[in-house]
C-alpha cells in the first residue's frame, strides 16, 4: 500500500464579500451534493442571513472552494441559564480541495474569533461523526426517532381527547407564528440542550419563507391548551396517503416538530396523533432518548427506534464560565485537568458545586480526573457518564472513585435535548 500524499492548500481563507455570495452558495450547494446553481430567490434569502465577518470562504484562482459560517446562538445549560454560543453551519469543502486542511483552517479562525468575542461554547450538528472531535467538539445531546405501529400500541380506540379539562385544537400557520415563539421560549428556558429560535425559524417552518426552493407541504398544526386555556404544547405534522389493495387506510403521520411544557400536553399531543382515523403509523421526529413517548403507549414496544445517534456537538471555549453557568443537584468538589492542546480551554481547575451555586477556579492541587475538552463537553450538559468514559479509556481517574463522584455532580435526572437542526 502506498502512503497517502499530503497536499496542503494555499487557498486563501477570508470573509466573503457581497459580490462573492452567489459563488459561495454555489460552492456550498456543491459540497452538499445539491444542484450547484441557486435561484435568484435563494441567493436573496441566503444573503439576508449571512453575517459578513462570520461567513468564510476559501478561494482558489478566484473560485470559492470551501464554505463556513457561524452565527450568535443561545444554548440552555443545565438549570436553565442561556450561555452565548458560536453556532457553526454551512461547512463544506469542494471534493477537488478536500483533505488539504481547509476545514481545519476555517475552524481555527472561527473558534479564535468566538473566544475573543466571549462565547462560552461553540455548537454544531455534525454530518458525520469523525469530523469534529479533533477540534475539541464532543457529542453533548443525542436524538432518538421512533416509528409507532399504532394498532399494536394498545391504545383505547374510543379516545376523544384529553379528559382533564385540557383540549387540542387544529390551527393554521398564522396562529403558529403568533403563539409558537412564546411557547418555545418557555420550553427552551427549562430544557438543557435547547437553542433559541429566531422569527425566521417560525417563518421557514410555516412556509412563509422557502429556504432553498424545495417543494413545500403545508403541515397540520395541533395546539394543546391546559384547563385554564394556557398554550402548553404544539405539534406540526404531515400525513401521506397510503391505502392497501384491500381498501384499508395505511397512512403515516410524520412529526415535523413537537414541543410541550407539561407532561399533560405531551400526552395529549401524542395520543391525538396516534388516534387520527386512517393513521396506522406515526414517525416521531428526533426526540430525546429518554422521551416520555414510548411509555405513553400502553405497549411501548409498538414504538420501534429508527434512529439513535449523536445530535448537538459542543466545544467548550471557556471552562470556568461553562461550569459556573450550570446548576448542580448535589454538593461536592472536583479537580479537573482539561487537555486542549490546540485550543483555549486547557488547564487544571477546581469545581466547587452546591445546589445554590458553583465556583470554578484555577488550582495546583492534584487532579481527580484528566480528560480531553471534547469529553468535558459530553459531560457538561449532563448526558454522558464519567464512569462510562473511564471504562472506554477516554477519561482518566487520578483518584479512585473520582469518575463516580463526577457523575454524582454532573449527570442530570433527565437527558438534555436539542429539538432543532441548524
Ligand atoms: C467534512 C469536510 C468539510 C472536511 O473538509 P476538509 O477540508 O477535507 O478537512 P481537513 O482537510 O481540514 O481535515 C482535517 C482532518 O480531518 C479529517 N477529516 C475531515 N473530514 C473527515 C471525515 N468526513 N471523516 C473522517 N475524517 C475527516 C481529515 O482526514 C484530516 O485529518 P488529519 O489531520 O489526520 O489529516 C469535507 O470533507 C466536506 O465538505 N464534506 C461534505 C460536506 C460535509 O459533510 N460537511 C460537514 C457538514 S456538518
Q: Over the stretch 135-149, which tens digit does the pLDDT of each residue have?
A: 999 999 999 999 999
Q: Is 224 within 8 Å of 234 (Cβ atoms)?
A: yes
The CA distance from 191 to 170, in Å, is: 25
Query: What is the pLDDT at residue 225?
Result: 98
Query: What is the pLDDT at residue 6?
Result: 67
Per cent of the chain over pLDDT 90 is 95
Q: What is the pLDDT of residues 147-202, one digit of tens each?
A: 999 999 999 999 999 999 999 999 999 999 999 999 999 999 999 999 999 999 99
Residue 284, SS3 per DSSP: coil
Residue 242 has pLDDT above 60, yes or no: yes
Q: How confident is the model at residue 47 (pLDDT cuts 50, 70, 90)?
A: very high
The arithmetic mean of pLDDT across residues 405-422, rounded, is: 98
Q: How close is the Cα of 99 to the center of ligand 1, in Å?
A: 6
**144-310 CATH pick, 3.40.630.30, 1.20.1300.10, 3.40.50.10260, 3.60.15.10:** 3.40.630.30
Q: Is 312 within 8 Å of 121 (Cβ atoms)?
A: no
Task: Give yes or no for residue 99 CB within 6 A of ligand 1.
Answer: yes
The CA distance from 240 to 307, in Å, is: 21
The arithmetic mean of pLDDT across residues 392-405, rounded, is: 98
Residue 15 has pLDDT above 60, yes or no: yes
C-alpha cell at 230: 394556557
Task: Give yes or no for residue 422 CB within 6 A of ligand 1.
Answer: no
Residue 269 has pLDDT above 60, yes or no: yes
Are β-strands 82-93 and 63-76 bridged in parallel, bridged antiparallel, or unpaired? antiparallel
Name 255's bridge partners.
237
Query: b/e per residue, 229-253, with b = 16+ CB within 10 A?
Result: eebbbbbbbebeeeeeeeeeeebbb
Residue 270 sits at φ, ψ, to 5 deg, of -65, -40
Residue 1 has pLDDT above 70, yes or no: no
Active site residue 132: yes
Greater confidence, 7 or 217? Answer: 217
Alpha helices in 256-385 (DSSP H): 263-273, 293-296, 319-325, 373-380
Q: How close is the Cα of 171 to the center of ligand 1, in Å?
A: 43
Q: How confident is the model at residue 210 (pLDDT cuts 50, 70, 90)?
A: confident
Query: What is the pLDDT at residue 212?
Result: 73
Q: Is 227 within 8 Å of 219 (Cβ atoms)?
A: no
Query: What is the pLDDT at residue 312?
Result: 98
C-alpha cell at 390: 473511564
Where does 159-218 show beta strands of DSSP type E?
A: 167-171
The CA distance from 25 to 46, in Å, is: 8
Q: Is 380 within 8 Å of 323 (Cβ atoms)?
A: yes
For the domain 12-119, what is the CATH superfamily, name and number?
A: Gcn5-related N-acetyltransferase (GNAT) (3.40.630.30)
Are β-strands 121-125 and 82-93 bridged in parallel, bridged antiparallel, or unpaired? parallel
Task: Give yes or no for residue 98 CB within 6 A of ligand 1.
Answer: yes
Alpha helices in 244-385 (DSSP H): 263-273, 293-296, 319-325, 373-380
**319-410 CATH pick, 2.40.50.140, 3.40.190.10, 3.40.50.1370, 3.30.1050.10:** 3.30.1050.10
**Active site residue: 59, 68, 132, 328, which one?**
132
Angle at CA of residue 180, ends 176 and 183, nearest 5°: 150
Task: Give yes or no for residue 209 CB within 6 A of ligand 1.
Answer: no
C-alpha cell at 79: 438549570
C-alpha cell at 368: 481527580
The arithmetic mean of pLDDT across residues 269-290, rounded, is: 98
Residue 2 has pLDDT above 60, yes or no: no
Q: How close is the Cα of 390 to the center of ligand 1, in Å?
A: 28
Residue 186, SS3 per DSSP: helix
Task: Give yes or no for residue 285 CB within 6 A of ligand 1.
Answer: no
Q: How confident is the model at residue 8 (pLDDT cuts 50, 70, 90)?
A: confident
Are β-strands 220-225 and 167-171 bridged in parallel, bridged antiparallel, or unpaired? antiparallel
Where are the domains positioned within the chain?
12-119, 144-310, 319-410
Q: How close is the Cα of 96 to the center of ligand 1, in Å?
A: 13
Active site residue 422: yes
The arithmetic mean of pLDDT across residues 102-118, rounded, is: 98
Q: Which of 65, 67, 102 is nearest to 88 (CA)?
A: 67
Query: What is the pLDDT at residue 3?
Result: 57
Q: How close is the Cα of 37 to the center of ligand 1, in Å?
A: 23
Classify the C-alpha dihedral 397-399-404-410 as positive or negative. Answer: negative
End-to-end CA distance of the chain, in Å? 40
Q: How confident is the model at residue 5 (pLDDT cuts 50, 70, 90)?
A: low
Residue 197, SS3 per DSSP: coil
Which of 88, 91, 103 best tests ligand 1's pocket when mutated (most atoms within 8 Å of CB)? 103
Q: How confident is the model at residue 404 (pLDDT cuts 50, 70, 90)?
A: very high
Residue 356 has pLDDT above 90, yes or no: yes
Same fold, 144-310 and 319-410: no
Amino acid at each position: 500500500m502506498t502512503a497517502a500524499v499530503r497536499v496542503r492548500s494555499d487557498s486563501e481563507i477570508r470573509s466573503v464579500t457581497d459580490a462573492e455570495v452567489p459563488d459561495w452558495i454555489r460552492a456550498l450547494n456543491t459540497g452538499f451534493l445539491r444542484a450547484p446553481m441557486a435561484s435568484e430567490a435563494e441567493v436573496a434569502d441566503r444573503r439576508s442571513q449571512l453575517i459578513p465577518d462570520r461567513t468564510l470562504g476559501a478561494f482558489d484562482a478566484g473560485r470559492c472552494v470551501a464554505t463556513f459560517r457561524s452565527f450568535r446562538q443561545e444554548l440552555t445549560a443545565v438549570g436553565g441559564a442561556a450561555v452565548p454560543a458560536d453556532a457553526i453551519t454551512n461547512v463544506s469543502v469542494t471534493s477537488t480541495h478536500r483533505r488539504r486542511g481547509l476545514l481545519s483552517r476555517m475552524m481555527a479562525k472561527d473558534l479564535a474569533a468566538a473566544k475573543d468575542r466571549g462565547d462560552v461554547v461553540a455548537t454544531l450538528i455534525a454530518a458525520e461523526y469523525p469530523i469534529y472531535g479533533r477540534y475539541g467538539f464532543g457529542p453533548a445531546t443525542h436524538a432518538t426517532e421512533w416509528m409507532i405501529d399504532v394498532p399494536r400500541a394498545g391504545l383505547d380506540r374510543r379516545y376523544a381527547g384529553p379528559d382533564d379539562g385540557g383540549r387540542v385544537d387544529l390551527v393554521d400557520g398564522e396562529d403558529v407564528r403568533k403563539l409558537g415563539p412564546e411557547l418555545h421560549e418557555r420550553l427552551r428556558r427549562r430544557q438543557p440542550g435547547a437553542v433559541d429560535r429566531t422569527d425566521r425559524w417560525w417563518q421557514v417552518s410555516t412556509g412563509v419563507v422557502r429556504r432553498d426552493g424545495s417543494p413545500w407541504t403545508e403541515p397540520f398544526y395541533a395546539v394543546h391548551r391546559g384547563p385554564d386555556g394556557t398554550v402548553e404544547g404544539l405539534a406540526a405534522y404531515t400525513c401521506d396517503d397510503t391505502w392497501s389493495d384491500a381498501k384499508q387506510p395505511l397512512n403515516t403521520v410524520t412529526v415535523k416538530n413537537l414541543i410541550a411544557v407539561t407532561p399533560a400536553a405531551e400526552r395529549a399531543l401524542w395520543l391525538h396523533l396516534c388516534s387520527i382515523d386512517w393513521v396506522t403509523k406515526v414517525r416521531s421526529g428526533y426526540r430525546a432518548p429518554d422521551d416520555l413517548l414510548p411509555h405513553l403507549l400502553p405497549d411501548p414496544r409498538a414504538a420501534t427506534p429508527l434512529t439513535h445517534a449523536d445530535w448537538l456537538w459542543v466545544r467548550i471555549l471557556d471552562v470556568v464560565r461553562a461550569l459556573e453557568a450550570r446548576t448542580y443537584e448535589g454538593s461536592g468538589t472536583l479537580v479537573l485537568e482539561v487537555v486542549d492542546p490546540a485550543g483555549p480551554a486547557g488547564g487544571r481547575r477546581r469545581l466547587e458545586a452546591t445546589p445554590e451555586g458553583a465556583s470554578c477556579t484555577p488550582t495546583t492541587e492534584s487532579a481527580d480526573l484528566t480528560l480531553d475538552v471534547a469529553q468535558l463537553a459530553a459531560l457538561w450538559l449532563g448526558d454522558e457518564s464519567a464512569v462510562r468514559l473511564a471504562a472506554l479509556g477516554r477519561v482518566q481517574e487520578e483518584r479512585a472513585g473520582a469518575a463516580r463522584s463526577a457523575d454524582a455532580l454532573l449527570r442530570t435526572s433527565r437527558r438534555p435535548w436539542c429539538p432543532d437542526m441548524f
